[in-house]
């Protein structure tokens, strides 16, 4: 089980070393290079959902756009395990990071550590304050 409580450890989690391999295994089937940009996805949500295509997140820059801006907090809302929501319901993409019991504990925690536990923000851009943004780490 991944237990992270210090910022020093969070710095060791990087996109290239930790997030990208997991994302390639679990996320690129729906969010890869064949997927639409966020704007195209927003214009054609129903069609994209029918094709099992989410917005494109096949690079560090495109993935972090769903952490800080323009779709602030989207990655966290979708991958949250439910411990940060009022109803305790996990995000709609949480299940895609799961696998065996060890993975169910490790994978979401890896993303949470990468973003920064104190930067794990489920709100939208209009609710984001400068101090929360500063706590988002997302090392490349």
d(CA 46, CA 40) in angstroms, rounded, equals 11
Residue 52 lies in a domain: no
Which residue from 34, 76, 79 is spatially nearest to 57, judged by alpha carbons?
34
Residue 54 lies in a domain: no
Residue 43 lies in a domain: no
Which residue from 82, 22, 27, 14 is spatially nearest to 55, judged by alpha carbons?
27
Residue 42 lies in a domain: no
pTM: 0.82
Output the pLDDT for position 9: 46
Residue 85: give the domain boundaries.
7-31+60-135
d(CA 14, CA 4) in angstroms, rounded, equals 14
Output the pLDDT for position 103: 77
Residue 78 lies in a domain: yes
Count how many domains the chain has. 1
Residue 110 lies in a domain: yes
- Predicted confidence (pLDDT) per residue in 94-128, tens digit: 888 776 767 767 888 899 999 998 999 999 999 99
Residue 96 lies in a domain: yes
Residue 45 lies in a domain: no
- 81 CB burial (10 A radius; 0-12, 13-18, 19+): buried
- Does residue 8 surpass a pLDDT of 90? no
């Amino acid at each position: 089980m991944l237990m992270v409580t210090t910022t020093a450890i969070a710095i060791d989690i990087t996109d290239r070393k930790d997030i990208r391999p997991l994302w390639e295994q679990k996320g690129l089937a729906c969010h890869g290079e064949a997927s639409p940009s966020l704007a195209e996805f927003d214009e054609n949500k129903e069609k994209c959902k029918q094709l099992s295509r989410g917005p494109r997140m096949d690079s560090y820059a495109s993935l972090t756009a769903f952490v800080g801006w323009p779709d602030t907090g989207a990655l966290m809302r979708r991958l949250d395990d439910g411990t940060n929501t009022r109803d305790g319901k996990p995000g709609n993409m949480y299940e895609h990071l799961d696998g065996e019991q060890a993975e169910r504990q490790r994978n979401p925690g890896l993303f949470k550590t990468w973003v920064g536990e104190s930067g794990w923000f489920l709100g939208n851009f209009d609710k984001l304050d400068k101090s929360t943004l500063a706590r988002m780490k997302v090392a490349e």
